[in-house]
Amino acid sequence: MEIRTFALALLEASTLEGKLRPPPADLTDDQPGAPLRVQGPVRPPALRHDPVRKVKVPAAEGLRDPAQRPRIVHALANHELQAAELFAWALLAFPEMPAAFRRGCVAILAEEQAHCRLYVERLAELEHEFGDFGVTAHFWRKIERILTPLEFVCVLGLTFENANLDFAGEHAAAARAAGDEATARVLDVVHADETRHVAFAWRWFQRLKPAGADDWETYCHAVGAPHGPERARGATFDAVARHAAGLSPEFIERLEATTPTRPGGAPR
């Protein structure tokens, strides 16, 4: 199967099973096709974005409350599903990118699917199904302004996934403090994988940015308001994970000095 066919099938799947079907090991990329900017995903009816109703997700501390816990795990599952969809979106939007980038996106996409599955399994243990609560299109709302692969790695990798290094850690700590070790263990897996996803974004940021351009200025310009550095971190700041991801000490310092817009922010 071609990467393009796989990515399209994922975006057009109307069942969760179709969304979470892992990429076949023998995917080919002989016909990446013309750039295609899909405007939004097909979703199973229970997981359609509700543009009218505002979906409120409790903050991490809500994990203490057994009534709020499934709503938070549900939001985390939706976060992962959107991430998988947006990597599929990028594979269709940027067919001209080198094989290493496209293969990397497929590998990350598969991990986003696996994360979603872990949260869906956790939801089942909490006696809920994915679709029991409303879902947001938080990531999907950003695609209009992602015109280039550089903007893609900056918005998805260096803002959203970067922020998740803090959010996943904060949620794991909150889950542990609440005695919910099972949810904490899923968050640990996500945190470890996310560090590698941010590393991928940083490597490609270095390759795609104009030669000699300043990292911080280039990043801030590429993401634009309101998706800037204040969204790329949480209330806490996990400098260790960012060093592990290979971000430059200067970039980490600038980010650490930035005031987050969503202190104690929950996944959307």
The footprint of Fe ion (CB under 5 A) covers: 80, 112, 115, 161, 194, 197
* Nearer residue to Fe ion within complex by CB, 166 or 194: 194
| Six-digit token string for 251 | 């970039």
In the complex, minimum distance from the CB of residue 165 to Fe ion, in angstroms, rounded to a whole number:
10
Cross-strand bridge partners of residue 2: 28
In the complex, minimum distance from the CB of residue 143 to Fe ion, in angstroms, rounded to a whole number:
16
In the complex, minimum distance from the CB of residue 19 to Fe ion, in angstroms, rounded to a whole number:
14
CB 216 within 8 A of CB 202: no
* Long-range pairs for 93-97: beta carbons < 8 A, 24 or more residues apart: 93/35, 93/36, 93/37, 93/38, 93/146, 93/152, 94/35, 94/149, 94/152, 95/4, 95/32, 95/33, 95/34, 95/35, 95/36, 96/32, 96/35, 97/149
* Nearer residue to Fe ion within complex by CB, 11 or 163: 163
215 vs 127: CA distance, rounded Å: 46
* Nearer residue to Fe ion within complex by CB, 211 or 233: 233
| Six-digit token string for 263 | 């202190």
* Nearer residue to Fe ion within complex by CB, 82 or 260: 82
* Nearer residue to Fe ion within complex by CB, 137 or 253: 137
In the complex, minimum distance from the CB of residue 161 to Fe ion, in angstroms, rounded to a whole number:
5
Alpha helices in the chain (DSSP H): 3-12, 16-19, 69-93, 99-125, 149-152, 162-177, 181-208, 215-223, 239-244, 249-256
In the complex, minimum distance from the CB of residue 231 to Fe ion, in angstroms, rounded to a whole number:
15
